[in-house]
Amino acid sequence: MISPADSEYPTQLNHILGGAPLYAIGNTGLLERPAIGICGSRNASENALAAAHLVGLEAAKRGLVTVSGYARGVDRLAHKGALEGGGATIAVLPQGIDSFRTVKELRPLIDLSNNFLAVSMFEPDSVWASWRAMTRNKVIVGLSLALLVIEARERGGTINAAFECVRQGKPLWAMAYSSETAGREGNRKLLAAAAIPIRHRADLSAALDAALSSPPEEVRQLALNLL
């Protein structure tokens, strides 16, 4: 358990969680490093999964910790990209820390003393629930300098995370795909509201570099359009 009185406790979560503790397994030192949040669908397209993996790789190159939700699909590909790129990642759980297990596809890459941290805002024995999956978005965004939406449906946890990003006043990017298919309705919605588009690898590089510097001007327009 990490309480607000502990040096490891992220100061940016004090207000967001109202002084509630965090529960963690792994390298708590990752909480002090700059990070990028990544979110997306569990049932993502192949293009989206490749994009999530690439974001993790590119974040690792810049020393950015990747923060995501540990669910199958986009989350795990982002974690995997970060780890395969020699970087580190934080998994924010939608249930209590007692249920944490390293998943098969990440197990060979995880070093709990070095490159991986699992955290939960819930009591250790809490079970998964949809409202917890939504609520933990506060922590994903709170630990991140910015949020990148890989692939989002019109409703659900990913869109909720995007709105949470705006509420916290942080930069929000969304992938802008060349083809429109089912399951990307949320991306179109966010981009229409002035989310910052990522169309090419150069856009991704610029987004990650911007996250490390200062919020771009577009964030103000996004807040005006969404809130």
Contact 39, 140 (CB under 8 A): yes
- Residue 8 falls inside a structural domain: no
Residue 188 has pLDDT above 70, yes or no: yes
Instruction: Indicate the SS3 state at residue 210.
Output: helix
- Residue 5 falls inside a structural domain: no
Q: What is the domain extent for residue 94?
A: 13-226
- Residue 222 falls inside a structural domain: yes
Task: Write out pLDDT tens, residues 80-119.
Answer: 999 999 999 999 999 999 999 999 999 999 999 999 999 9
CATH code where residue 140 lies: 3.40.50.450
- Residue 97 falls inside a structural domain: yes
- Residue 137 falls inside a structural domain: yes
- Residue 120 falls inside a structural domain: yes
> What is the number of domains present in the chain?
1
| Mode of pairing for the β-strands spanning 172-175 and 23-26 | unpaired
- Residue 4 falls inside a structural domain: no
- Residue 178 falls inside a structural domain: yes
Q: Tell me how crowded residue 33 is: count the other CB atoms within 10 A of its CB.
A: 14
- Alpha-helix residue ranges (DSSP H) falling in the chain: 13-17, 46-61, 74-84, 130-135, 137-142, 157-167, 185-192, 201-212, 218-226
pLDDT band at 35 (very low <50, low <70, confident <90, very high): very high
Residue 40 has pLDDT above 50, yes or no: yes
